[in-house]
Structure 1
Amino acid sequence: MPALARRLGLTDAVVIGLSAMLGAGVFVAFAPAASLAGGPLLLAALAVAGVVAYCNASSSAALAALHPESGGTYVYGRERLGPFWGFLAGWGFVVGKTASCAAMALTIGAYLWPEYARPVGIAAVTALTAVNLRGVAKTALAAKIFLAVTAAVLVLVAAVGVGDLSAPLDFGTPAGGLHGVLGAAGLMFFAFAGYARIATLGEEVREPARTIPRAIGLALAVVVVLYAILAVIALLVLGPALPNSTAPLADVVTTAGLPGLAPVVRVGAGIAVVGVLLSLLAGVGRTTLAMARRRDLPGFLAAVHPVRQVPHRAELAVGVLVAVLVAVTDLRGVIGFSSFAVLGYYAVANASAWTLGGRWRRIVAGVGLVGCLVVGFSLPWRSLAAGAALLAVGAVVYAVRRRA
């Protein structure tokens, strides 16, 4: 079976994880999460999402060290729990994240050229698929560039927001209650989900048993701190207006009296989403490769390019499917749907990590598993219904494939 080349070091892996997390979520997730939890409880929702993300990251890191190949939880579920659970995790990731790719492509168009959002989104998918086809080293280089731009924009927002904290504090009403906090945590989890990309690239990381756990831990720690800072600033500057904001970080600089910087933030948001889409396309392609290797998807998708050593057919198939979805469907409202699919994916990861044994490992895996289930089933009912339907279709596909 052709193998992928191990070309990524610790810095490359951390950058890919950061570029996946510091993107769409931080620019859009604060507002819908605040509307569910109530402004004052947004930080509580962020804390819950951070704890669940830590447990998931810890479980993923331990599993990735033992199973350092492409596919992430699809592979872990198969190896530790059985083929069905691996298939269900892989199915949820590929289908859910393909929809997320289309939504992010449309978001790029909406930020950069709203009148032509679909053509811009298709162009972005085409260009980023071409970058991924050049090899994982090119993906890591592009991720570094996008991450640098994103970090600069986020630092700008933080600096402007801190300069406008003299206004009276008014966070609004904490009307969401416990259920609202848990549902908001599910939406905020959308902004944390990028560390999976490090594990799905496990076959291309040097010294995976050492590099992957360190990369996941470092990336997640940076993101938790930065999100907490930005959430506090958004609450302090926007107050009760935060839940109704369509572009919270752009509104922060506008409310702070510098509306001329809002276009800079919007362009930075577009570039950030480009970085997320780049790494997400690569992650979905690797999971598709892993499933094709085991005939859970068509076998021709398992091909690896003899020169660039990338899963070129899987990458092309994912790119084409995403472009078609961008052309015909409006998926910008799939944050909850994507969160449900990802939480299901990590529930399988934590259940797989439980089988590794060890007291601390089982405590972390148990908390992560319960957290994924509680937060997932606290999402808005439409997201819950769509996600449950997705997994049910996957179970039917698996049953039909097994009978055939």
Structure 2
Amino acid sequence: MTDLERRLGVPDAVLIGLGSMLGAGVFVVFAPAAAAAGGAGLLPALVLAGLIAYCNASSSARLAARYPESGGTYVYGRERLGPFAGFLAGWGFVVGKTASCAAMALTIGAYLWPGQARLVAVLAVLAVTAVNLRGIGKTATATKVLVAVVLAVLALVAVAGLVGGDAQLDRLSDPGGSGRGVLTAAGLLFFAFAGYARIATLGEEVREPERTIPRAVPLALGVVLAIYLVLAVVSLAVLGADRLAGSAAPLADVVTAAGLPGLAWVVRAGATVAVTGVLLSLLAGVGRTLLAMARRRDLPGVLAAVHPRRRVPHRAELAVAAVVILVVLPGDVRHAIGFSSCTVLVYYAITNAAALTLGREPARRLPVQALALLGLVGCLLLAANLPLTSVVAGFAVLAVGAVGYAVRQRHA
């Protein structure tokens, strides 16, 4: 028996989306985004990334309601655009999110024990995998706890920065960055929003997916965008663009600048919790995409197994954990973010292309076809404007997957 069990309602799905997104943007990508765009460009870049993410969310929700099974755009691409498009989406998601998992694990190590960051990263992967293997219900429960802790820490940072910090709103207009800095920063910041797809990749475990997914995805995305905007304003107003760009732990620096250096350890602990939540849901999402690809023999069929009692794709999740550990050993956080953003933006470009084939839906207030087209163009534009090394590495790995697919099809 290889079917998963439907256990998740709207609140659970929203919390998994929040757990997937909160942490990556606030604790990892604000600094390189500020370096690319400067103070004047960071907020527009954040809004642009959120807009493209909303377009993608709209397309993902429509497709997930039509095809409520694990796999996300791997399934949608196969059904709407053909097997190759589905494979390319699945391959891009798996390799990109594997890099994301490695980046998150390394971030945990850097915050908890900088001197032994890789060892801590490996232990974090093993611990999170153990939670996921106990079942999606355990994943949702753990995510609730993580989200509550993270929201409390982020609220502390915002209040401390506004009340006790040397906040100056004119710092929001600090120049800086390159000529295309806003697009580069938006591409990097998109990494922080990509977690909403975890709701769609868990589509086979959501109750009433045609109703739950379209509600949960935009709700989770809207909450996260509002939180990011508040914290971006506070960070820029307190630190300024230059200091933010060079900071390894910007939110801890905000608290320190507010005259509360003793609370910096609270922020570091909160960062660890936040990133653990991201890693928890990332590993679950990649495992379920491997399950979907293995079911259709785009990956070895042995990965299609579902645990008879826990109802989780245990072999796929163990395989993902093993690869992430291998990537962690020589990995670099910032390079992993750029590489992941490139391949995931291609993944969402395929999502929007698939949504365009659904046709118009007169009952909807928003022009869903226009959103899908805007999402498609936006994804390709942001991917092309990422740092050159990220673009080259991302498209090279996608090309390797495409060649492998063609060879396998020819032999078949």
Counting only pairs closer than 5 Å after superposition, residues 297-308 of structure 1 correspond to structure 2 as 297-308=299-310
Contact 2:244/2:250 (8 A) holds in 1: yes
Residue 391 in structure 1 maps to residue 398 in structure 2: yes
User: Match for 1:43: what amino acid?
Assistant: L
- Larger mean Cα displacement after TM superposition, 358-367 or 282-291: 358-367
TM superposition shift of 1:327: 3.2
Contact 1:187/1:336 (8 A) holds in 2: yes
Contact 1:106/1:332 (8 A) holds in 2: no
Q: Matches of 1:41 and 1:330 in 2, distance apart?
A: 25
Contact 2:294/2:304 (8 A) holds in 1: yes
SS at the partner of 1:2? coil
TM superposition shift of 1:248: 1.1
Contact 1:104/1:332 (8 A) holds in 2: no
| Counterpart position of 1:116 | 116
**CA 1:7–1:326 in structure 2 vs 1: closer, same or farther (change >3 Å)?**
same
Post-superposition Cα deviations, 1:133-152, rounded to whole Å, max 9, x if no partner, equal 11000000011111111111
Counterpart among 339, 342, 354 of residue 337 in structure 1: 339
| Counterpart position of 2:180 | 179
| Counterpart position of 1:20 | 20
| Counterpart position of 1:229 | 230
| Unpaired segments ≥5 residues, structure 2 | 362-366
User: Match for 2:200: what amino acid?
Assistant: A
Q: Matches of 1:333 and 1:263 in 2, distance apart?
A: 26
| Unpaired segments ≥5 residues, structure 1 | none
Q: Matches of 1:236 and 1:245 in 2, distance apart?
A: 14
Post-superposition Cα deviations, 1:21-54, rounded to whole Å, max 9, x if no partner, equal 0012211211111111111111110111011000
TM superposition shift of 1:171: 4.0
- Larger mean Cα displacement after TM superposition, 201-210 or 384-393: 384-393
Contact 2:37/2:178 (8 A) holds in 1: yes
Runs of 4+ in 1 over 6 A off after TM superposition: none
Contact 2:172/2:233 (8 A) holds in 1: no
User: Match for 1:338: what amino acid?
Assistant: S
User: Match for 1:350: what amino acid?
Assistant: N
TM superposition shift of 1:329: 3.7
User: Match for 2:394: what amino acid?
Assistant: G
Q: Matches of 2:167 and 2:238 in 1, distance apart?
A: 8
Residue 244 in structure 1 maps to residue 246 in structure 2: yes
Counting only pairs closer than 5 Å after superposition, residues 130-209 of structure 1 correspond to structure 2 as 130-164=130-164, 167-168=167-168, 169-171=170-172, 173-176=174-177, 179-209=180-210
Post-superposition Cα deviations, 1:211-253, rounded to whole Å, max 9, x if no partner, equal 0110101100101111111111111001132111111111111
TM superposition shift of 1:170: 2.9
| Counterpart position of 1:371 | 378
| Counterpart position of 2:30 | 30
| Counterpart position of 1:80 | 80
User: Match for 1:264: what amino acid?
Assistant: V
Contact 1:200/1:283 (8 A) holds in 2: yes
Q: How many residues align?
A: 404
TM superposition shift of 1:120: 1.2
TM superposition shift of 1:388: 1.0
Question: Identical aligned pairs, as a percentage?
Answer: 68
| Counterpart position of 2:364 | none
SS at the partner of 1:334? helix
Q: Matches of 2:265 and 2:235 in 1, distance apart?
A: 18
Contact 1:44/1:181 (8 A) holds in 2: yes
